[in-house]
Structure 1
């Protein structure tokens, strides 16, 4: 299985996964082939360099429109013979241009317990609900993507508590901790299942 990771920013989840690939935690047949980043100056690119991961980066603006942007990404995915796309803090909605070519082959990490707090700023919105309404937990969800916004089939979820003395930063740190544990676990299971299928 040849994997691409899409990320837009800092890339802490990318680094956790890259380390796991490097130490063969996902098996000998799983290869991290590509990082795609839509922000050429994002810190995640430096992380990819550290792990020797091939990187492609360009902006939507440089392509003129979303369709051309995604066609260009699709070309790269095909040229690298990618089997599975892993979204790790990629801040754009994937359109049918890519989706139709990778149906059931794109997984996403969302920092909330879906269907709560879909879309952007999920951590801040959960924290705001804690302040205003006494919410005591949020969560992390890993799911396959479809054409909706964070509506695809759920693979795994875990609740994350919100404590009385939390601020947004402490809550975000706890959510990242959960993500860093959950994402490798889920990816390992998916890759093992795919490996079994290909061996049968």
Structure 2
């Protein structure tokens, strides 16, 4: 491979703190560092996401792919069939955009929309791995509101440990093979906000660790 660096496309939806962790790792400002790849593009599902500013500040090309503002713009909530078709087209177009960027790895770093088979199938055919950050342990709280649901379960005494993971993205939501798992104890004297802060602190470490592992696998595969 020589000095050629792998290309990462990062998908975001919000403030981009996990994106920032990746930017810092690529810049060599953190441990572990990402020395064998660059972030070639950032795609946001929202035009107002602060992560776009973080990417622009780092000189990374950005793109907005907005479901609500573009694909659902002229469709009422009652038109479920039309919205379903629009959502499918959203994923088809997202796959087309990502494939045109020719990444080696896709990292979902706070991407808040489910990636459907309309996206996953063409990306899989192109043999591009996708990893995702999910703020729950494997098999524990799939889907939305994972942090809140874990904290609530802890407050009820149902579980004493929660956490987060970086996992491979497959068609089953949040069910792909974990690459990195961070366990956190649940404390009954802790507010939801305090627990959420601990989760986010660990996310910034895990997103880099998971990306490093995925990149190493790619390098090994290409040798």
Highest Rg: 1 or 2? 2
Q: Which residue of 2 aligns with 1:27?
A: 35
Aligned to 1:78: 99
Instruction: Give CA-to-partner distance per residue, 1:156-179, whole Å, 9 cap, x none.
Output: 212111223211111011111111
Cα RMSD for the two superposed structures: 1.6
Q: Which residue of 16, 29, 38 maps to 2:21?
A: 16
1:139 and 2:163 equivalent?
A: yes
Identify the residue that residue 42 of structure 1 maps to in structure 2: 49
- After superposition, the C-alpha distances for 1:111-136 in whole angstroms (9 at most, x for unaligned) are 01120011101111111111222532
Is the 2:65–2:94 contact (alpha carbons within 8 Å) kept by the matching residues of 1? no
Shift of 1:90: 0.6
Secondary structure (helix, strand or coil) at the match of 2:166 reads strand
For structure 1, the residue ranges without an aligned partner over 5 or more in a row are: none
1:158-197 mapped onto 2 (5 Å cutoff):
158-197=182-221
Q: Which runs of 5+ in 2 are unaligned?
A: 1-5, 73-85
Number of the residue aligned with 2:59: 52
Match of 1:63 in 2: 71
Higher mean Cα deviation, 185-194 or 32-41?
185-194
User: How far apart in 1 are the matches of 2:120 and 2:206?
Assistant: 24
The ranges of structure 1 where at least 4 consecutive aligned residues each deviate by more than 6 angstroms after the TM superposition are none
Aligned residue for 2:140, secondary structure, equals: coil
1:102 counterpart SS class: helix
Query: Which residue of 2 is the match for residue 148 of structure 1?
Result: 172
1:133 and 1:197 mapped to 2: Cα distance?
45
Deviations 1:86-127 (A, max 9, x none): 011111110112211223611111101120011101111111
Matched residue, 1:109:
133
Paired residues in the alignment total: 198
Normalising by structure 2, report the TM-score. 0.83
